[in-house]
Structure 1
Amino acid sequence: MSEVSFPLAIPSADNHLMTLHQEGPLFILHLHHKDNRFTTEFCRGILYALQVVEDIFNDSEDPVDMALVTTGEGKIYSNGLDLMHAVSYIPFMETYLLMLRRLLTFCIPTVAALNGHAFAGGCLLALAHDYRVMRDDRGYMCMNEIDLPANLPPGMAGLLRYKMTPDTFRNCVLQGHRFPAKQALDEKLVDVICPGTEVLPKAKELALKWAPKAKSGIIYRQLKEEMYADVVRLLSIPYNRLAPKM
C-alpha cells in the first residue's frame, strides 16, 4: 500500500467532499459536503476511505485495536440520495448499494456519530454501522420514501428489516415516521444519546471500547458476513434487474 498522510482529503484537495483522520487506533471519516447527499462520486469517496482503512488494517503485522467513526457537520448527518443524480444515472444505485454492503461487513468495529438528521439513504448509512450515537436535542432518523413517493430496493428494505423490530419497521416504511433521539434509543435504533457537543466524543469513546475486537482479524468480518448473510445477498442484487420494476 502506498503511504497515506492524514488528514486525507477525499477525493482530492481540490474537490474536498470528506476528510479521513487518524487518532491512534481510531479513524474518523468526517463528511462535510453540503448536506451529504449521495452521488456516485460521494459514494466512491466513502468506498475509497474504507479501502484506505482496510489496507492499513491488513498491513498490520500484529493484531491491533482499530475502529472507524463517521460523522457529518452542523445539523445534518446525511439527507440521503441526490435524487436527480440517482434518477438520471442508473449505475449510481450499484455504487450506493455496494457502499452499504462494504460498511455493513467492514473488517473493524464501526460507529456512526449522528450529529443531526439521518434521512432516507443517510438513515441506511447510519444503520449499516455496528453502533450509533445520536444527539438528543435535534435531528431525526427517517425513511421518507412513502412521501416522495419511491420504492425500496430489496437490499435497503432488508437492512431496515434486520435492524428494526416489526412495529418499528412498519412505522418507518409505511408512515415515514421521524424518530427523535429518545424514541430512537427506546426502539434500539441507536445505542447512546447525548447533547450535540458530546456526540463525537461519545462515539469515539464507544469506538475505543470495541476497537480491541479488531484483534480477531478476519474473524470480525466473517462473523458480520454470517450475521447479515440475507441482507448482503439482497444488497448484491444487480440494480439494473430491479430498475424497470421500481
Structure 2
Amino acid sequence: MIVADLPLVKLINPDASFPSLFVLHLSNETENRFTKQFVKEIMQALDIVEEKLDQLDTEQASRGGALISTSTGKFYSNGLAIEAAMKEGDSFYIPYLQMLARLLTFRIPTVAAINGHAFAGGCMFAFAHDYRVMRADRGWIAMNEVDIGIPLIPGMAAIVKAKISHANHLRDCLLTGHRFKSSDALSAGIIDRAVPQDKLLDTALEYARTLAPKASGLTQKLHLIKAEMYRETVILLLSGGTTPGGFMSKL
C-alpha cells in the first residue's frame, strides 16, 4: 500500500497486517543524488512515518515497527549533487547533515537495502541506518571524496568513523577511496548481509520484522539509546560546522 507518493520518494507499507512497517523507495532520477529537494522529501517521508506511528492503537504499537530504504537500478545513491553543494554551501550541507542525524537516531529500527552503488553521500546515507543488506552480485560501497578532491566536513567524517570500527578498513575507506564490493564490505563489518538481487528486499524485510519488536510501544526509547550510542557523531552532524579541519586553524 502506498502511504505517500512524493515526486522523488515513495513511502510504502508492504504488509497491511503490519501498519508500522515501511519501505522508503528512493527515486530521484537514476542516481538518487542528494539535492535540497530530495533531502526535504526524505524528511517529509520520515515525518509521515512518525505521524502514522503516533496514530496506532496500543495493540498495534506493541508490535513496534521498522523502516527500510531502497531503490532500483544501478545506484542506491551516487552521493551529493556536488555542483549544487559547492555553490550553495551551508544551505545545502546543513539540511543533509540534519537528515543523517535524524535517520541515525530514528525511533524505530532502520535497514538499508542497498540495490546498487552507494558512493560518498549515498554511502553515508546507508551508514545512517542501523543495518545494511547489500546486493551480492553487483555494486560497490565507497567514500570516494579523496578521488574527486573534496575534503570531509566534521559530521560526514564522524558518521563514517561511527560505522567502520577497524582502523585499517577506515583508512582504506577514507584515504584511498577503496570500493568495497559486497564480500569485502561483509568482511569489514560494513554490511550485515550480502544476498542475490532477487532476495534483497525479502532479506531486508526479514531483518525489519525481526527487529521491529525492539521498538515495542513506539516510544522514544530507541531514539534516546541511539542518540547516546552515537552522541559524538550526532553532535558533529548537528553542530560541528562545515569547515574541514577547522579545529586546526591555529596550527
In the superposition, the TM-score normalised over structure 2's length comes to 0.90
Q: Paired residue for 2:55, among 55, 59, 74? A: 59
Matches within 5 A, 1:207-222: 207-216=208-217, 217-222=219-224
What's the CA shift string for 1:5-30, capped at 9, x where partnerless?
834111xxxxx211100122310010
Q: Which residue of 2 aligns with 1:68?
A: 67
- 2:42 matched to 1:43? no
Q: Distance in 1 between matches of 2:169 and 2:40?
A: 31
What's the CA shift string for 1:124-181, capped at 9, x where partnerless?
0000000000011000000001011011011111111111121111000000000000
Which ranges in structure 2 are unaligned for 5 or more consecutive residues? 247-251
Structure 2 SS opposite 1:138: coil
Checking the alignment, whether the CA contact within 8 Å between 2:154 and 2:244 is kept in structure 1 is: no
Give the 3 Å change call, closer, same or farther, for CA 177–191 of structure 1 in structure 2: same
Q: Distance in 2 between matches of 1:243 and 1:237?
A: 13
Q: Which residue of 2 aligns with 1:29?
A: 24
Aligned length: 236
Structure 1 SS opposite 2:13: strand
C-alpha RMSD of the superposition = 1.7
Structure 1 SS opposite 2:73: coil
Checking the alignment, whether the CA contact within 8 Å between 1:94 and 1:238 is kept in structure 2 is: no
Which ranges in structure 1 are unaligned for 5 or more consecutive residues? 11-15
How much does 1:238 deviate? 5.9
Ranges of 4+ aligned residues in structure 1 off by more than 2 Å: 58-61, 241-245
Q: Which residue of 2 aligns with 1:103?
A: 103
Checking the alignment, whether the CA contact within 8 Å between 1:29 and 1:71 is kept in structure 2 is: yes
Q: Distance in 2 between matches of 1:122 and 1:17?
A: 15
Q: Which residue of 2 aligns with 1:181?
A: 182
Q: Which residue of 2 aligns with 1:13?
A: none
Which amino acid in 1 is paired with 2:243?
A: L
Checking the alignment, whether the CA contact within 8 Å between 1:146 and 1:175 is kept in structure 2 is: yes
How much does 1:60 deviate? 2.8
How much does 1:244 deviate? 10
What's the CA shift string for 1:22-74, capped at 9, x where partnerless?
12231001001221000000001111111110122233342332100000111
Give the 3 Å change call, closer, same or farther, for CA 146–243 of structure 1 in structure 2: closer
Which amino acid in 1 is paired with 2:5?
A: A
How much does 1:243 deviate? 7.5
